[in-house]
Amino acid sequence: MVSKKKFFFLPFLLLSTLVFAQTPFEKPEIFATSAILIEAQSGFVLYEKNADTIIAPASLTKLMTLHLAYQQLKAKKIKKTDLVPITSKAWALKLPRHTSRMFLEPGQRVSVLELMRGIAIVSGNDATIALAEYLEGSVKNFVAKMNEESKRLGLDSFYFEDTSGISPKNKITARQFAKFCQIYIQEHPQSLQELHSHTKMIYPLKENLNPLIKRRRNKILQHNNNTFLGRVKGVDGLKTGFISESGYNIALSASQNNMRVIAVILGVFNNSPKQGVRQRYANGKKLLSYAFDYHTVYKPTFPS
């Protein structure tokens, strides 16, 4: 006998979107300080745990950096093909060795789009500095724009101290960051295929090298830390992060059966980096399974 799934309640109605939950289901147990799961079109909350707890975002901060870059692209203030000068402040060798880097150096020829990919795929802290300096003249000026944009969007829990997320003074909540991810995807849908769904990046390529420097520069292959890409159906973003003060964080975007969801998980703590990443993955897998196994979206037609 084939069992039929029964829809037992209608939690949300937004013009053309109905979100149904199916029975039976149990809410997942998430081992993290804070988490939230929303349906991306309506913003309806499917799951939450301590979603208003303020936590340092770590490299999730970089999504705001990318958001501001996309805004300037849309306003035609910059182009993706623009070549960005790399200053000594954005030189990878000047950054702490334990931080994520794209491996920029002065004299390289690198475009806006390449920097955006370096931020999204390999979480390059050097790339955020280079892009911030190009867009606003200095990191300080760019961080001020990040905080201004947070206020404009009504994200009152947000505060940014830098462009990359290294500082524990950066602040978000899971609820408001999920809202920000919803806005980010709605305003920049191209970012999913253009940036966030890439599993690896090779840099520098031959065309990036300074032609005046004759020494050879090895190409460096780096992989996206989003371990869901290519492993979990429908996942196409968005960003991972880690600093010791906030643990292992992730913002996930995934789409199955005409339903897109956003999951934000903050504060997965483990002394072992390998185990921390595994625990973050296990939490995310639970939330995505809960979303797609027990919920569906129906878009009704209305008589004209």
Catalytic residues: 59, 62, 123
Residues 6+ apart with CB under 8 A from 29: 286
- Cα distance between the two ends of the chain: 41
- How far from chain centre, in Å, is Cα 156? 19
In angstroms, the CA 155 to CA 198 distance is 28
In angstroms, the CA 184 to CA 50 distance is 23
Smallest CA-to-CA distance from 132 within 153, 151, 115 is with 115
Helix, strand, or coil here: 84? strand
Question: Tokens 């029975």 appear where?
Answer: 23
Residues 6+ apart with CB under 8 A from 204: 103, 108, 110, 217, 219, 220
Dihedral of CA 68/117/240/196: which sign? Answer: positive
Question: Tokens 């253009």 appear where?
Answer: 194
